[in-house]
Amino acid sequence: ETGVTQSPTHLIKTRGQQVTLRCSSQSGHNTVSWYQQALGQGPQFIFQYYREEENGRGNFPPRFSGLQFPNYSSELNVNALELDDSALYLCASPDGSTGELFFGEGSRLTVL
Amino acid sequence: DQQVKQNSPSLSVQEGRISILNCDYTNSMFDYFLWYKKYPAEGPTFLISISSIKDKNEDGRFTVFLNKSAKHLSLHIVPSQPGDSAVYFCAASHPSNYQLIWGAGTKLIIKP
């Protein structure tokens, strides 16, 4: 039990569609980061939110956007889906006292 | 440009023997290194870390060695157990930003 939950666990979309992935963490995790893990690769940093504002971004286009809410839950939105967006999307939050990063189980997105 | 590299996609080790997983990095500014373990259908879980001011950190069966001059780190697991079978990711952080840079992972298989 990491205290970080993600939904949905699996979903299938078609090219050009939009998708919203969700992440919730136990209270106290006011920082959330999102990663994309393509098959056979390590996770790639998408962006990080701290107190509802984006405060770090990796090399991803603007069609990847996010939100963080006052209850520290978070969303990752991807517009105009492309085939290469097929991946496991991971959400992570650090433990408030140790800084250890806890990951959710991920949302596996397939784009057809 | 991969800043963190795990050159062995997979490694097979006999139960009870030592498992050694390797990781190389290119950015000398990285100041913190972490190893994560990932089972199928689960998010990565933190295993052990090391600061760049140290050359060894030990936690039970797991030891991480850092060779800064060679920009190389390794994770030693001894003795290896069947439950250690998983994908192991090496990650590094830079003091000026928030993201972790990940290797592609090494799949460790422990043979009974």
* 10-residue stretch averages of pLDDT, chain A, 112 residues long: 86 97 81 90 91 90 94 94 96 77 91 96
pLDDT value for A82: 97
Please report the residues numbered 49 through 68 in chain A whose beta carbons come closer than 8 angstroms to any beta carbon of chain B: 55-56, 58
What are residue B76's DSSP bridge partners?
B20, B63
pLDDT value for B1: 67
Cβ–Cβ below 8 Å for A56 and B98: yes
pLDDT value for A3: 82
Rounded alpha-carbon distances, angstroms, from residue A52 to A106, B35, B58: 21, 28, 37
CA B106 to chain centre: 9
CA torsion, ordered B88, A36, A55, B51, to nearest 10 deg:
10
pLDDT value for B97: 66
Binned average pLDDT, 10 residues per bin, chain B of 112 residues: 90 97 94 92 89 94 96 97 96 79 95 94
CA distance to partner chain A, nearest, from residue B96 (Å): 11
d(CA A24, CA A105): 12
Closest CA to A75 of A19, A36, A15: A19
Counting other chains too, the contacts that A29-32 makes at CB distance below 8 Å and 24 or more residues apart are A29/A3, A29/A4, A29/A72, A29/A93, A29/A94, A29/A95, A29/A96, A29/A102, A30/A72, A30/A96, A31/A93, A31/A94, A32/A68, A32/A72, A32/A74, A32/A91, A32/A92, A32/A93
The tokens describing A73, both together, are 């839950």
Mutate to test the interface with A, among B42, B100, B101, B107 (most CBs of A within 10 A): B100
Cβ–Cβ below 8 Å for A55 and B97: no
What are residue B92's DSSP bridge partners?
B33, B101
Cβ–Cβ below 8 Å for B99 and A33: yes
Provide the residue type at B58 as one letter. Answer: E
CA distance to partner chain A, nearest, from residue B5 (Å): 10
